[in-house]
């Protein structure tokens, strides 16, 4: 098998992994070295499934010793197999960089024999890149659960970001669908990376020449929709991972049915892209809007509303919090208002030191007044008095009623994928209703239901 054939197989096998980020490092260039980690220097390319990536995203090998039922690379699946050598992978990366195709590498792998053997081969490939080719570009490497801690420490000295995929949201699902993987084996390297990264930051603050360990931090990925866990369970787990392991990102991957198995959704099942979208929105609220998982979902409402983004849903459930006075409210209070984001809230706090803010000033600042006008006051005056139906119409997410829209890049402004449409729209379309008519009917029903709730 030549290098081109290997690349075709292993790049295709890597497309299901969405935890592909290129931010967090700005390594200074040096004479005689290759690559740049500056965010502006990262180029982008679209994969066949619509995701935007900026790195050569590839597996070291797809010849897996494990038999995870949801994975296309499981050992019992009849699938073309390939494996690089460390030097092949290093030379391929350098060749792509010199042709200006990429600015870095995203490297994962199936378990080739044992976790330790797989990690040793990946480390050797990264060593060749860093020490022989003096490549200083961005490298994101996946850590193989179950590998020796010394190998995790070694790969962290070559990679900018490490990640350990948690795969499924609960230990019960992991036991059922991935019997070769154990929760403890996944969480152990997460804890090691968190401790070692914090230690490395402390050492670098004292000694500039100290070796950097995974300076861009760590991330993980969860598959959504393959198992019965609720959004509440997933969001609580996400919040816990951020707090305990200081993760930079938790990525959600809508399950794409690619393997026939009685324990998994049927092959005809649509990927839950809208659900994935809501979880990314909620993740954004956890990280930048000071919400907690307990505020967004409850035992009575364990899943997100498909037609409302989580912030608007929270606003409807907490009418006593509003209206918020934009000229006196704290930044944290402003962030709770639909239509006001972190940048807008900061601009409001800065601008009101110089003047009293009204609707014209808020519009210039960038506030989405279509939504915000019903939840704020300006110097005691309410900008708009809408009916319940008008407010509901402003809050409904128009993206939930679009048909045939692909996912956006994970590198866009909010790093959130765009849903294809609400499931009800697809159901009507499958029964012969025109797509535009189906979207209209579902929106009217959603508007009626939301108006009754308010």
Q: Is residue 404 part of a domain?
A: yes
CB 218 within 8 A of CB 247: yes
Q: Which of 253, 288, 323 is the last residue of a domain?
A: 288
CA gap 206, 84 in Å, rounded: 39
Sign of the dihedral defined by the CA atoms of residues 112, 114, 115, 119, in that order? negative
Asked, as a colleague might, if the bond just before 189 is cis with ω within 30 of 0, I would say no
Same domain, 95 and 215: yes
User: Chain-wide mean pLDDT for the chain?
Assistant: 87
pLDDT in tens, 289-310: 999 999 999 999 999 999 999 9
Q: Reduce the DSSP state of residue 250 to 3 states and report it.
A: strand
Residue 19: pLDDT over 50? yes
Q: Which one is predicted more confidently, 154 or 441?
A: 154
Total domains in the fold of the chain: 3
More confident residue, 406 or 183: 183
Q: Mark whether 194 and 263 lie in a shared domain.
A: yes
Residues 254 and 343 in one domain: no
Is residue 173 in a domain?
yes
Q: Give CA–CA dist 31/172, Å, rounded.
A: 52
Check: CB of residue 318 under 8 Å from CB of residue 296.
Answer: no
159 in the same domain as 72: yes
Mean pLDDT of 213-242: 95
pLDDT of residue 57: 87
Which of 386, 412, 441 is the endpoint of a domain? Answer: 386
CB neighbour list of residue 416: distance below 8 Å, 6 or more residues apart? 277, 280, 281, 284, 408
Dump pLDDT digits (tens) for 139-159: 999 999 999 999 999 999 999
Mean pLDDT of 4-31: 72
Q: Is the pLDDT of residue 362 over 50?
A: yes
Range of 358's domain? 309-386
Same domain, 206 and 333: no
Only one residue has tokens 């929709």, namely 225
Q: Taking 80 as the threshold, does the pLDDT of residue 384 lie above it? A: yes
Is residue 391 in a domain?
no
Regarding whether 223 and 197 lie in a shared domain, the answer is yes
Is 304 a domain residue? no
Specify if 302 maps to a domain.
no
pLDDT > 90 fraction of the chain, expressed in percent and rounded:
65
For residue 191, give the DSSP letter: H
Higher pLDDT pick, 431 / 270:
270
């Amino acid at each position: 098998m030549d290098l081109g054939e290997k690349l075709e197989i292993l790049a295709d096998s890597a497309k299901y992994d969405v935890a592909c980020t290129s931010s967090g490092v700005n390594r200074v260039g040096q004479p005689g070295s290759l690559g740049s980690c500056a965010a502006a220097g990262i180029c982008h390319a679209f994969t066949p499934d619509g995701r935007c990536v900026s790195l050569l995203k590839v597996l070291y090998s797809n010849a897996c010793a494990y038999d995870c039922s949801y994975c296309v690379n499981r050992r019992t699946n009849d699938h073309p197999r390939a494996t690089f050598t460390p030097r092949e992978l290093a030379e391929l990366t350098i060749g792509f960089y010199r042709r200006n195709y990429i600015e870095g590498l995203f490297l994962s792998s199936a378990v080739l024999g044992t976790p330790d053997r797989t990690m040793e081969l990946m480390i050797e490939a990264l060593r060749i890149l860093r020490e022989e080719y003096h490549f200083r570009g961005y490298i994101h490497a996946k850590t193989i659960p179950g590998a020796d801690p010394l190998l995790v420490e070694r790969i962290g000295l070559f990679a900018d970001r490490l990640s350990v995929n948690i795969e499924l949201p609960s230990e019960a699902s992991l036991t059922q669908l991935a019997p070769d993987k154990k929760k403890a084996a996944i969480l152990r390297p997460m804890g090691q990376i968190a401790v070692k990264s914090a230690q490395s930051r402390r050492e670098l603050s004292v000694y500039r020449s100290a070796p950097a360990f995974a300076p861009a931090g760590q991330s993980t990925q969860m598959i959504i929709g393959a198992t019965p866990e609720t959004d509440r369970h997933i969001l609580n787990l996400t919040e816990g991972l951020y707090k305990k392991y200081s993760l930079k990102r938790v990525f959600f991957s809508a399950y794409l049915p690619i393997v026939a198995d009685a324990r998994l959704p049927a092959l005809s099942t649509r990927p839950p892209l809208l659900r994935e979208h809501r979880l990314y929105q909620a993740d954004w609220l956890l990280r930048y809007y000071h919400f907690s998982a307990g505020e967004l979902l409850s035992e009575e409402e364990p899943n997100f509303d498909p037609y409302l983004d989580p912030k608007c849903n929270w606003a409807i459930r907490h009418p006593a919090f509003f209206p918020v006075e934009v000229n006196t409210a704290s930044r944290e209070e402003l962030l709770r208002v639909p239509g006001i984001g972190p940048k807008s809230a900061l601009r409001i706090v800065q601008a009101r030191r110089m003047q009293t803010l009204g609707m014209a000033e808020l519009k210039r600042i960038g506030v989405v007044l279509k939504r915000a006008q019903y939840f704020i006051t300006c110097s005691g005056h309410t900008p708009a008095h809408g009916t319940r139906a008008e407010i509901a119409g402003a809050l409904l997410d128009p993206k939930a009623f679009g048909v045939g829209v692909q996912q956006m890049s994970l590198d866009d402004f909010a790093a959130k994928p765009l849903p294809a449409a609400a499931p009800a729209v697809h159901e009507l379309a499958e029964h012969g209703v025109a797509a535009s008519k189906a979207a209209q009917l579902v929106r009217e029903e959603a508007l009626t239901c939301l108006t009754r709730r308010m």
